[in-house]
Structure 1
């Protein structure tokens, strides 16, 4: 929304069971720990052996400066998770026009951050363009190395992304 600050943008509010129940400004969702939905898109190399990992900017409201292996963000009021995933992937990494594959839905709850995570995956070998407000740096990382790093609790990694990528790895083994 033009002219609306990020803190005032309306986000979809969900109930604990995962159903949309209304909307609230982002600041209220954060302050009151309202349940919401967020998308997480894993960008894998075309051959599937690596994932794109990035470092979040220092001014992010959640997990500033942490590493992350997902593009994504909070579902806006009136937006469907799939549309949010496409929008966030285009905004954060400049990836457009590629089909996203839905992988699973999970719940993240830590402190006042409570959301239903919609996890997607995409294969991409094209150019990546960072959104400077959100992505400080990025690089391709072999999946085996990513698995080792996220298993290390000392490696600064976004908490929800750590949970979701570990769940992704577990599902790959099944």
Structure 2
């Protein structure tokens, strides 16, 4: 069972949605976590010119999935914020990435005992320097898709990002993951 650490930015207002991804209002981040409300998140797969995927390791005090690897970093969409605005803000805040063209991949639903969300996966290409936020990211590096597939099999990987990346691989790299592969 995954636990929730102390909520980071507990008073931040986030977008709440229903099971069909229709906005129903907003709540504070702490209310959303306490009641496991369905919310929106962005996820971004960052590729370099060699086709490698950037994977970061979350800090040990992250509110959810602490010390997990994250092959599609992102964040909770704020009230009144679009998925695209959130994705741009998150990759800038967490990794210092700006000025990239985000490519929308797909929307998906994810649910577990600590998190219920509608996610939108984006991808981009980035070959510059990273400025990792020490409040969010412990470390990170580019990995080949085969290395990422191995990491998805061995974990620990954020299960919401795992679901997004698995769906991406099914579409763009079929056969890279076996059907029995699952997070943690």
Q: CA offsets per residue over residues 63-99 of structure 1, 9 Å max, x none?
A: 0011111221000011011100000011111000111
The answer on whether the counterparts of 2:16 and 2:24 sit within 8 Å (CA) in structure 1 is yes
Alignment coverage as a number of residue pairs: 167
Q: CA offsets per residue over residues 113-168 of structure 1, 9 Å max, x none?
A: 1000100000111111101100001111111110122023xx21111111111111
Q: CA RMSD in A?
A: 1.2
Aligned pairs for 1:48-63 within 5 A:
48=51, 50-63=52-65
- Which residue does 2:118 correspond to in 1? 116
Measure, in 1, the Cα distance between the counterparts of 2:120 and 2:93.
17
- Which residue does 1:64 correspond to in 2? 66
Q: Structure 2: which 5+ runs fail to align? A: 1-7, 175-184
Measure, in 1, the Cα distance between the counterparts of 2:24 and 2:49.
38
- Which residue does 1:37 correspond to in 2? 40
Q: Please state if 1:83 is matched with 2:118.
A: no
Measure, in 2, the Cα distance between the counterparts of 1:70 and 1:130.
15
Q: Among residues 26, 30, 52, which one is paired with 1:27 in the alignment?
A: 30
Measure, in 1, the Cα distance between the counterparts of 2:64 and 2:173.
30
Q: Please state if 1:16 is matched with 2:15.
A: no
Q: Among residues 117, 128, 131, which one is paired with 2:130 in the alignment?
A: 128
Measure, in 2, the Cα distance between the counterparts of 1:107 and 1:46.
30
- Which residue does 1:74 correspond to in 2? 76
- Which residue does 2:101 correspond to in 1? 99
Q: CA offsets per residue over residues 25-53 of structure 1, 9 Å max, x none?
A: 000000101110000000011232x1111
- Which residue does 2:182 correspond to in 1? none
Q: Structure 1: which 5+ runs fail to align? A: none
The answer on whether the counterparts of 1:71 and 1:93 sit within 8 Å (CA) in structure 2 is no
Q: Which runs of 4+ in 1 moved over 6 A?
A: none
Structure with greater strand share of residues = 1
**Alpha-carbon shift at residue 18 of structure 1 (Å):** 0.5
